[in-house]
Amino acid sequence: MSEFWRDRSVLVTGCTGLLGNWLVAELLERGALVTGLVRDLVPQSRLYAGEWYRQINTVRGCVEDLPTVERAINEYEVDTVFHLAAQTIVGVANREPLATFETNIKGTWNILEACRRVGGVSRIVIASSDKAYGDQLVLPYSETTPLQGEHPYDVSKSCADLISRAYYVSYGLPVCITRCGNFYGGGDLNFNRIVPSTIRSALRDKPVVIRSDGTFIRDYFYAKDGVLAYLHLAEQMDRKEILGEAFNFSNELQISVRGMVDKVLELMDKTHLEPVVLNRAKNEIKHQYLSADKARKMLGWESKYPLEEGLKETIEWYTNFLKEENTCVISV
């Protein structure tokens, strides 16, 4: 294993989230000195369940608070920042657009401004989303596709991307932007998302509920694959030609929501469970998928996890997690 991360001071925002807890675990495995910015205590997060929180510095606060962010970067002499903290749920964004803008837009400029003020940060990876591209007639999205989000969540990601680019162009801040699709994997505690929702329903022998009509196409990306992509990008940020650039990471599969549900049910031998299709989704882009051609050519990156392998590992994680949860309830 490369020694690149050994003793390197790394700040991870959003470290209790799906991607964040996998990233923290991998950074610790590689010998990094990790500081996590934590807004809420989430006891069931893998960060706590795996007891990785005992191995990291924890700063309590949120990305909307510039002094807290600046103090964390300064006091822990941070070299590398992975900015993952965000309000990531489309439905929440539709109900609370201002809070979403505060977290996703202001939170991003606070991270960038704190790095600019403190100085000494050598690489900043900003986690964006394929939703920053908005609704497009031409697919797949490439990095030259215009950023034109129209709904609250999508707009928040478009804005954060443009602000990140501005800090590179105007101030020379060492920034790169990642754009990925819908992450899935063990540790995602938001059961409104289609993968954990389907697995939980199947384990309980109940039909999964699909909010849309099931035909929406999404780009699904395994969290462990995402972590390796982020680390691969950060390790190459000594190359000046990639600074300020955005990179799509994807396994480039086009899968409908119904197709993903059917795949999970097939792997779990639960195909007898017919999904309930509500067709009530609002303010959501119908078709989204990414080209990762730029990442392959400029970074030499490739996906490590086929869809079926990622889903099998995810199913195994939830099977164990929900079994333990039920055991705890019964024992009380």
> What pLDDT is attached to residue 192?
87
* CATH code that applies to domain 9-189+219-253+286-305: 3.40.50.720
What letter would DSSP give residue 242?
Answer: G
User: 309 or 285: whose pLDDT is higher?
Assistant: 309
CB atoms within 10 A of CB 42: 15
pLDDT > 90? residue 47: no
What are the sequence ranges of the domains in the chain? 9-189+219-253+286-305
* 198, HSE (Cβ side, Cα atoms, 13 Å): 30
Structure-token match 């059961």, residue found: 191
User: 58 or 41: whose pLDDT is higher?
Assistant: 58
The answer to whether 263 touches 218, Cβ cutoff 8 Å, is no
Averaged pLDDT for residues 214-226 = 95
pLDDT > 90? residue 283: no
Out of 153, 220, 305, 318, which one is annotated catalytic? 153
pLDDT > 60? residue 42: yes
Q: Is 53 a catalytic residue?
A: no
Give the pTM. 0.94
Averaged pLDDT for residues 54-67 = 96
> What pLDDT is attached to residue 330?
39
